[in-house]
Chains A and B, each alone.
Chain A
């Protein structure tokens, strides 16, 4: 089973949202990492055939997804970034509706909906209207609908947005248990989510993949660029202006800084082991804020 992206480009007017991307996705969890506006959502929409590419193709098991049509959609699960719901539907009715348009039989749909509601912790509120749900509950319902048809290709756009830490842990476990023999692609700018569950990471910037690989391999690309040093509290503002600071911790009159820099920033700075968060800051420090 493979999802092949070949020379994919999507252009809006003169803006290139996706720029000549090529990749082969096989079974496993892929984390798509990038700042806002990097082209993640557009790529996901293209993968779900919600948008037409300007050029290039996407094929599933060797066949163009557009030719595959409803057979491709049969194996597809998708959670969009702006997950919409019918406010007057109850959680159960919503899942039954989604099951109906996914073509599931009524008996299977009922059983599967109950199973998933249980897995995402919404079984007790299955008969409550969605409009009464909190943001996190709605998001969990969205994740459940994407998994209804036991998809072979699961695409999740910002699935952990709005989830509290406990819910995020539950989500990670759910994805890990679900991902066997499946292609799971999840986009996020919550770096820790990707770090824990993704087997492979695709780093996207300005419509292109700038790095692809296992988390450990990718992290090595910023080896020697992460520094830690202790400075007087008064020096912090000037250093903040000058350097890309990943973390700071105040200890009395001094502050411990974690600086991402290609050169040694201060005399007393020592190299630190990089993590995915440092990598993100290294590549996206000039772009919009992110959540870690």
Chain B
């Protein structure tokens, strides 16, 4: 064992001596002090950034933001699903459609309340000045909330289909009011910005979802003039409402400045 160790040591020493002999033929390069200083500065800055500002993936930031979404939202959604499944199979078709309509209103209301909380709390200005600014925070929140809504709506659709409800009625009583009222709310939020008021922002989805309900007979009448039935046209109209919602969501999440200046000008 000892012999082996000393042989290894001797071998290492020989290698070191060989390396020294090779290096003797080279001169140490002179490093330009300017380049050296620049490299040190750059590396120091990089190290400082790495220390507490690590690059974060979109998913990573999304998961971080998940813990800051109001807890009542998940409770409300779970409660809604529970009630839906509890009552669903005992109700007649009219009651089922009404329940779906209420579900759409509630989902839209939840979305609007959570999306507007920065403005309502007055934290928008502080958030705008952060690394992930308000537009990005809106994007994270929308992704999380749409994810939750997708799960709830999918569960509702499954239940609806199990109760032999036609897909177009699901679109008419659930998806269309939800998409439409959410689109109107996000549009309003983008335009109202920092002038956002709790009462107004709650009223918008409730009003628009009811507007969707009131206009259904008119829509039916209008479609009949075009030779179309509600069953034929509803899925397409729902898709249009979805496109509108995505458009307004996109506009909200890409805006650089949220301060409503027109009101400010009037104040001054």
Sort chain B's interface into a size bin: 35 or more
Query: Across the two chains, which residue of chain B brings its CB closest to A111?
Result: B52
Judge whether A70 is part of the interface by a CB distance below 8 angstroms.
Answer: yes
State the CA gap A104–B268 with chains docked (Å): 38
State the CA gap A12–B126 with chains docked (Å): 22
The answer to whether B117 and A86 touch across the interface, beta carbons within 8 angstroms, is yes
Chain A nearest Cβ from B52, distance in angstroms: 4
Over the window 252-277 of chain A, the binary record of Cβ atoms lying under 8 Å from chain B Cβ atoms (1 yes, 0 no) is 00000000000000000000000000
Judge whether A32 is part of the interface by a CB distance below 8 angstroms.
Answer: no
The answer to whether B123 and A86 touch across the interface, beta carbons within 8 angstroms, is yes
- Residues from chain A with Cβ under 8 Å of B127 in the complex: 101
Judge whether A48 is part of the interface by a CB distance below 8 angstroms.
Answer: yes
The answer to whether A12 and B70 touch across the interface, beta carbons within 8 angstroms, is no
| Interface of chain A residues 78 through 105 with chain B (CB within 8 A) | 78-80, 82-88, 93, 97-98, 100-105
The answer to whether B128 and A48 touch across the interface, beta carbons within 8 angstroms, is yes
The answer to whether B257 and A51 touch across the interface, beta carbons within 8 angstroms, is yes
Over the window 65-90 of chain B, the binary record of Cβ atoms lying under 8 Å from chain A Cβ atoms (1 yes, 0 no) is 10010100000000000000000000
The answer to whether A82 and B52 touch across the interface, beta carbons within 8 angstroms, is no
What total of A-B pairs shows CB separation below 8 Å? 103
Judge whether B130 is part of the interface by a CB distance below 8 angstroms.
Answer: yes
- Residues from chain A with Cβ under 8 Å of B137 in the complex: 101
Q: Given the interface contacts A82-B122, A85-B123, A86-B117, does A108 sit within 8 Å of B128 by beta carbon?
A: no
The answer to whether B121 and A84 touch across the interface, beta carbons within 8 angstroms, is yes
The answer to whether A103 and B261 touch across the interface, beta carbons within 8 angstroms, is no
Judge whether A245 is part of the interface by a CB distance below 8 angstroms.
Answer: no
Tell me the dominant secondary structure on chain B's binding face.
Answer: helix
Chain B nearest Cβ from A164, distance in angstroms: 23
The answer to whether B268 and A17 touch across the interface, beta carbons within 8 angstroms, is yes
- Residues from chain A with Cβ under 8 Å of B18 in the complex: none
Judge whether B54 is part of the interface by a CB distance below 8 angstroms.
Answer: yes
Residues of A within 8 A of B (CB): 12-13, 15, 17, 37, 45, 48-52, 70, 73-74, 76-80, 82-88, 93, 97-98, 100-106, 108-109, 112, 142, 145, 149-150
CB-defined A-B contacts under 8 Å, sample of 29 = A12-B261, A12-B264, A12-B265, A13-B265, A15-B268, A45-B125, A45-B259, A49-B128, A49-B129, A50-B125, A50-B129, A51-B259, A52-B256, A52-B257, A74-B53, A76-B129, A78-B129, A80-B125, A84-B122, A84-B123, A84-B126, A86-B121, A86-B123, A100-B132, A102-B131, A103-B54, A103-B132, A105-B52, A149-B52
**Closest A-B pairs by Cβ, 10 of them:** A84-B122, A12-B265, A13-B265, A108-B52, A103-B131, A78-B129, A84-B123, A15-B268, A80-B125, A101-B130
